[in-house]
Chain A
């Protein structure tokens, strides 16, 4: 568990990060969202002490980070940045093995770990191991960057706009990969982004920052359905909130017995997919399947009601 306790950074009298406290449970992804200048990157960089906090404390599994030498702390924390930061003069294998090498792992163990990670990221080891970063596509470079950050099985992985330099299609794939790998490895991740869509899609928890302050810190559904301030609502995008919300609810929540015409959707799809299917094909309901076998349906009526349930609570004016 990562505990951030009243952490503050003052630059020339300005509070870049102002008394932020939150915790990140082991094995979850927390996303920090904010506009540029909100202090989100400074907050991230205070965790591995690339920036020293003015006051406050960060505890890594109960241990205060201020108690260890910064370079030793950083070897326990993975760090992936926008533009990957791969070493251009080292091969893919050497890049991925960088932290294990700093930690003094034996060579054979490093080589084994490198292959394991390349496999995990869908890159054939024999083909990619000996390549230099310049010979990889943008998406591959980014994956190697994340693999490098995960190589030593760190207690925590910090990611600063890791997908910022990717085009939308590759970015969506990279996000899915990250989600899958995080589930598989049980990693704890703190990710900084300016993209609310990305935060909602990836985060078990979303921390919205504005002007150095943490303005809301909650599960994605809560952020969408119940924004704590005007600013959060704007970040979510007022017009898209119903759709964002529906995208967070799986079909299984509204599943009812019965039949419906047309192609079925898998139970793992969400209400936004179902709504799309209904609108696009003029249906009142869509059939739902589990592993290919029909299990029931979801009706447009029910989707509307689900949206309304959340929307109604939203009638109260949003605090400014």
Chain B
């Protein structure tokens, strides 16, 4: 064990240093979560259900086995010296709660009737959260390089995909909601991606040049930045609402607008609203990145005979790029979240399920819209972080 000399070197009285304080906190919270209902059993889709403790969710031996895995996982998180073990502990714990959930399904549904539904309850969600926090904490101590982080993301998404594809969770209420809407789900996923990435691309195409222009001209900067800040302060529901009459008017008066798909409701107003929200972060970060270029480097570039364009291309943009990309990261994560509201004005995306679920008081349908949005936003954040890190120019990393 590589950490052994490390432990020996520690004075005997400092045993507490062998424990990770957040790990202890996670263990306490995790164990407390075991007292909460782990799953909910309902007679049908929309009635209020009955919460079941972990040991009531499956046959005793199964429960003992999976809970042992959870407790061991939390326990591994308590020690401090070996972050890989803590990471492994979080995986073990997650595997434990997912397995328990999978085992609970046939056990509970066997005699509950065709319409009965089983959903994860507070205990499951709290444990999942605590274990994911443990994973994040362990990873931050491991400081994985950009490629490793990307690899871990792919592995985690792959594992999630395998679990879902295995059919073990098919009888879970949220999966039943999915089964009835598989086509609509795929369509909503594509629409969500198109809305968030499409508006990001359009924002980049507009806001990068605009940011560079604002950097060059103080007057433009003084006019644009307050204007974009104002746009940012419009509440999102109001913004999507404003788009409806605005684009309906455009569709009615501008010849050809209706033919290219512009209408008061649907994709166009949602796209435009997201685009407007995207402009400030990208422009502001472009400005911040360019402002941070050392003045002496800029002066030297001009003094040695670079044209304004050469200076921009080979000195200013490479040095500003990580900050500019950080702006795109903000926008992408923000847009994935905001695109949910597009569902309200017929823009499609995962928001469709959220609002349908709200109307039907069907919690699992809401989750069918919300959970993929969260996964997408987290994945986008990690991918963009990696991109920012990889573009940091050599000498400035």
A283 at the interface (CB under 8 A from B): no
Query: Which residue of chain B lies nearest to A165 when distances are taken between CB atoms in the complex?
Result: B296
Interface residues of B in 293-327 (CB under 8 A from A): 294, 296-297, 299-307, 310, 315, 318-319
Interface residues of B in 184-223 (CB under 8 A from A): none
- Determine if A212 is an interface residue (Cβ-Cβ < 8 Å): no
Q: How far is the CB of A177 from the nearest CB of chain B, in Å?
A: 20
- Taking CB atoms, residues of chain B closer than 8 Å to A132 are 394-396
Q: Are A85 and B306 in touch, CB under 8 angstroms?
A: no
Which residues of A sit under 8 angstroms from B318, Cβ to Cβ? 89
Cα-based distance from A135 to B397 in the complex (angstroms): 12
CA distance A50 to B301 in the complex (A): 11
A88 in contact with B297 given A132-B394, A132-B395, A134-B395 (CB within 8 Å): yes
Q: How far apart are the CA atoms of A83 and B315 in the complex, in Å? A: 17
A91 to B394, CA, bound (A): 8
B304–A88 contact, CB under 8 A?
Answer: no
A73 touches B305 (CB 8 A): yes
Interface 1/0 per residue, A145-189 and B, CB below 8 Å: 100110000000010000000000000000000000000000000
Q: With the chains together, A88 CA to B392 CA distance in Å?
A: 11
Name A's interface SS: mixed
Contact of B305 among A83, A90, A91, A99 (CB under 8 A): A99
Q: Which of A18-32 contact B (CB under 8 A)?
A: none
Q: Interface residues, chain A, CB within 8 Å of chain B? A: 48, 50, 71-76, 78-79, 81-91, 98-99, 102, 132-135, 145, 148-149, 158
Contact of B306 among A76, A91, A102 (CB under 8 A): A102
Question: What is the minimal beta-carbon distance from A226 to any residue of chain B, in angstroms?
Answer: 35
> Taking A88-B294, A88-B395, A88-B396 as contacts, is the C-beta distance between A81 and B305 under 8 angstroms?
no
Q: Cβ of B299: which chain A residues have Cβ within 8 Å of it?
A: 50, 81, 85
Contact B300 A88 (CB under 8 A): no
Chain A residues with Cβ under 8 A from B59's Cβ?
none
A81 touches B303 (CB 8 A): yes
B167 within 8 A of A: no
26 residue pairs from A and B, CB less than 8 Å apart: A48-B303, A72-B305, A75-B304, A78-B304, A81-B296, A81-B299, A81-B300, A81-B303, A84-B300, A85-B297, A85-B300, A85-B303, A86-B297, A87-B301, A88-B395, A89-B393, A89-B396, A90-B394, A90-B395, A102-B305, A132-B394, A132-B395, A132-B396, A145-B300, A148-B300, A148-B304
The residues of B that contact A74 with a CB separation of less than 8 Å are: 302-305
Contacts of B294 in A (CB 8 A): 85, 88
Determine whether the beta carbon of B306 is less than 8 Å from that of A83.
no
Number of A-B contacts (CB under 8 A): 76
Contacts of B303 in A (CB 8 A): 48, 50, 74, 79, 81, 85, 158
Which chain B residue lies CB-closest to A136?
B395
- Known contacts A81-B300, A84-B296; decide if A71 and B396 are in contact (CB<8 Å): no
Query: Could you list which residues of chain B lie within 8 angstroms of chain A, going by C-beta atoms?
Result: 294, 296-297, 299-307, 310, 315, 318-319, 393-396
| Residues of B with C-beta under 8 A to A91 | 394-395
How far apart are the CA atoms of A79 and B305 in the complex, in Å? 10
A138, B393: Cα distance in complex, Å: 21
Given contacts A74-B305, A133-B395, contact A102 B310 (CB under 8 A): yes
> Cβ of B394: which chain A residues have Cβ within 8 Å of it?
89-91, 132
Tell me the bound Cα distance from A71 to B302 in angstroms.
8
**What's the Cα separation between A274 and B87 when bound, in Å?**
74
Inter-chain contact B304/A102, CB cutoff 8 Å: yes
Closest 3 CB pairs of A and B: A132-B395, A85-B300, A89-B393
In whole angstroms, what is the CA distance A84 to B300 when docked? 8
Q: What is the CA–CA distance of A149 and B305 in the complex, to the nearest angstrom? A: 11
Closest B residue to A103 by CB, please name it. B305
Alpha-carbon separation in the docked complex, A65 to B7 (Å): 72
Nearest Cβ on chain A to B177's Cβ, whole angstroms: 51
CB proximity of B294 to chain A, nearest CB, Å? 7
Contact B395 A89, beta carbon cutoff 8 Å: yes
| A residues less than 8 Å from B307 (CB atoms) | 71
Q: Tell me, in angstroms, the Cα distance from A288 to B302 when the chains sit together.
A: 50
- A79 and B297 CA atoms in complex are apart in Å by 12
Residues of A near B300 (CB, < 8 A) are 79, 81, 84-87, 145, 148
Whole-angstrom distance between the Cβ of B156 and the nearest chain A Cβ: 33
Query: Chain B residues near A84 (CB, 8 Å)?
Result: 296, 300
Q: Is the CB of A134 within 8 A of B396?
A: yes
How distant is B302 from chain A, measured CB to nearest CB, in Å?
7
Name the CB-closest residue of A to B302: A50
| Given A87-B297, A89-B393, A102-B304, 19 new contacts (CB under 8 A) | A50-B302, A71-B307, A73-B305, A74-B303, A75-B305, A76-B305, A79-B303, A79-B304, A81-B300, A85-B299, A86-B297, A86-B300, A87-B300, A88-B319, A90-B395, A91-B394, A99-B304, A145-B300, A158-B303
Rounded to whole angstroms, the CA-CA distance of A50 and B297 in the bound complex is 14
Give the distance to chain B from A227, nearest Cβ to Cβ, in Å.
Answer: 32
B315→A71 contact, CB < 8 A: no
